[in-house]
Structure 1
Amino acid sequence: MLAIYDETRLRKRLLSILRQNSEAFQLYYDTYGYTPIEPLIEYLHTLKGCAFVNRHDLRQVVEYDPERSIEWDGGELIRATYGFLPTVAKSRRTKMVPPDVLYYGTHRRLLKQVLTGGLLPIASEYVQLAARPEHIGKPIGTLHLVTVNASAAYEAGICFYQVGDHYYLSDAIPASYLQVYTD
Structure 2
Amino acid sequence: MLDQHKEKSLSKLISKMLRHTPKAFGLALDPEDGSCTLDALLASIQAQPRWGWVTKEHIELVVRQSDKQRFEIIDARIRARYGHSHDRVSYAPADPPAILYHGTNKNALPSILLEGLKPMGRQYVHLSEGTHFATLAGSRRGELVILEVDTDSARQAGVTFYYAGNEVWLADHVPAASCAMMRTDKEL
TM-score normalised to structure 2 length: 0.52
Trace 1:16-165 onto structure 2 (pairs within 5 A).
16-17=14-15, 21=19, 47=61, 85=85, 89-90=89-90, 93-137=91-135, 142-165=143-166
3-state SS of paired residue (2:61): coil
| Equivalent pair of 2:85/2:123 in contact (CA under 8 Å) | no
Shift of 1:84: 6.1
**Residue 152 of structure 2 aligns to a residue in which SS?**
helix
Matched position secondary structure for 2:162: strand
Q: Which residue of 1 aligns with 2:169?
A: 168
Name the structure with the higher helix share: 2
Q: CA RMSD in A?
A: 3.6
Equivalent position amino acid for 1:85 in 2 = S
Q: 1:118–1:173: 8 Å Cα contact kept in structure 2?
A: yes
Gaps of 5+ in 2: 20-33, 36-59, 66-82
Q: Deviations over 1:62-100 (max 9, x none)?
A: xxxxxxxxxxxxxxxxxxxxx96377632xx12022211
Would you say how many aligned residue pairs link Structure 1 and Structure 2?
124
User: 1:97 touches 1:151 (CA, 8 Å); kept in 2?
Assistant: no
User: Please, what TM-score do these two structures have when normalized by structure 1?
Assistant: 0.54
Gaps of 5+ in 1: 24-45, 52-82
Distance 2:104 2:86 in 1: 16
Larger RCO of the pair (alpha carbons < 8 Å, separation 6+): 1
% identical equivalent positions: 25
Greater Rg by CA: 2
- Residue 48 (structure 2) aligns with: none
